[in-house]
Amino acid sequence: MTGFSRHRRSGRTIAHFTGLEADLLRSLAAQVVELLRNERAVPASEVDPLEALLDFSGPTTEPEDPVLLRLFPTAYTDDPESAAEFRRYTEGALRDGKERTAVALIDALEEAGLPPDLDEDGLVIDVELEPAEALDWLRALNDIRLALATRLGVVEGDEEYWESLSDDDPRTQAHDIYEWVGYLQETLVGALD
C-alpha cells in the first residue's frame, strides 16, 4: 500500500493502487453517490436551467440518514428557522458538488485502467492527478471517510476500543478501511503542500 506523492517534473500528484485497492475505492465512492441520489435534496423534474439556477426550493429539514446529516450538518443548531433557510439555499448545490467529486474519483480510476469488473490478479492502477483533480479527490476521500466513521460509530479517543477487537471481527476490517482512507487523505494533503 502506497500513498500519494508529487511527481517532481510534472507537478502532478500520483498514486499506485493494486486492482483490489482501486476497486474498493471505486465501490466506496459509488456508495456515496448512491446515498446522495437516494435521498434527493431537490425535486427531480425537468426545469429550465435558468429557473433551476435561481430555484431555492431545496430541503428545509435535516436528512434522515445519519451519514447525510454528517455530510450536511445543521448550520444553526440554536435557530431552527435560520437552519431551515440555510439548508434550503445550500444543500442542493452541496450535494451536487459531493456527487461530482465522487464521480471524478471513479472516472479517474477507470481512466487509469480499472476495468468495470475486476477479475485480474496483479493489476496495478497508476493514477496521475492535476492539482484541481487532486482537490476533488481530497474532497471525495473526506466524504468517504466521514461516511465510514458515521456508519462505524467512530468517535474521538476510541482507539483502544478498535484495537481490542479481534482480527476476524468484521468491524475490524471495516475500521481498517476507514484508517486506510484516512492514510490516503493524509498523503494526498502532504503531496499537495
**Tens digits of residue pLDDT in 103-128:** 999 999 999 999 998 887 889 999 99
Task: Give the DSSP letter of residue 182.
Answer: H
Per-residue pLDDT tens digits for 5-46: 998 888 899 999 999 999 999 999 999 999 998 865 444 445
Per-residue pLDDT tens digits for 42-75: 444 455 555 455 556 677 788 889 999 999 999 9
The pTM of this model reads 0.87
| 48 CB burial (10 A radius; 0-12, 13-18, 19+) | exposed
For helices 131-152 and 80-111, give the axis angle rounded to 10 degrees: 120
Distance CA 105, CA 131 (A): 13
67 touches 151 (CB < 8 A):
yes
pLDDT at residue 48, rounded to an integer: 53
Which residues, 6 or more positions from 190, have their beta carbon under 8 angstroms from its beta carbon? 3, 4
Q: Does residue 156 or residue 2 have the better pLDDT?
A: 156
Nine-digit cell at 177? 478501511
